[in-house]
Amino acid sequence: MAHVTLIDQPRTLVGRLSSLYSRWRFGRDVEPVMAAAHHSGVLVAAGAIETAAELGWRRLDPKLRWLALQLTSTRIGCSWCVDYGYYETVNKGMDPDKLRHVGEWRDSTLYDDRELAVLEYAEAATSTPVSVAPELVDRLRQHLSEAEIVELASWVALENYRSRFNGGLGLKSQGFADSCAVPLSVPVAS
């Protein structure tokens, strides 16, 4: 249960516009926007960074970004972000197995060296305190330009914000992954 009242009919102009955008973008009201509707300044700031990221952060391979975002939200424990991230990325062509097993990336054979370096970075940059070792940065440099590394750091930081905002307000999964063409798990035959 959310820690604040979820506003489905915002009274402020910013809240109403955010709600309309949310319905257009996600096909429904989403709890992060419904919670943030209590504070127009938060809605404006979050909307500005989300818009800037969506329109201007295009250097990093989207599949690497999606892996980093999914691992970050998994490590923080944001079920809303894990759910929506799975839905969005599977519908954009990401391998569902890579998303399902991102939490066990260290023990998996699904990922190539570039993906492993990105996953290790996302985990290190999400830890408290942040613990990005110079050796890890050297491995990243074998696969990514400095602009891509900066963008990766930005995506991980943005997902930390999203996941901690949602988790801090008690927001949970809204069932986006349930509507994917590919199920989250395959039933085991008995």
User: pLDDT (tens digit, 9 = 90+) per residue, 9-25?
Assistant: 999 999 999 999 999 98
Same domain membership, residue 110 and residue 142:
yes
The Cα 136–Cα 47 span in angstroms is 32
Domain extent at residue 81: 62-168
Q: For 127-164, how does the pLDDT look when each residue is reduced to its tens digit (9 = 90+)?
A: 999 999 999 999 999 999 999 999 999 999 999 999 99
Paired tokens of 33: 């926007």
**CA distance between the termini of the chain:** 35
Residue 72's pLDDT band, with cuts at 50, 70 and 90, is: very high
Same domain membership, residue 70 and residue 164:
yes
184 part of a folded domain: no
pLDDT reported for residue 102? 93
145 part of a folded domain: yes
pLDDT average, residue stretch 159-186: 79
Same domain membership, residue 66 and residue 45:
no
Residue 189's pLDDT band, with cuts at 50, 70 and 90, is: very low
Same domain membership, residue 162 and residue 82:
yes
Same domain membership, residue 69 and residue 49:
no
Is there a contact between 124 and 132 (Cβ–Cβ < 8 Å)?
yes
The Cα 172–Cα 80 span in angstroms is 5
pLDDT reported for residue 135? 97
Same domain membership, residue 74 and residue 17:
no
User: Average pLDDT over the chain, rounded to whole?
Assistant: 92
Q: Is the pLDDT of residue 187 over 50?
A: no
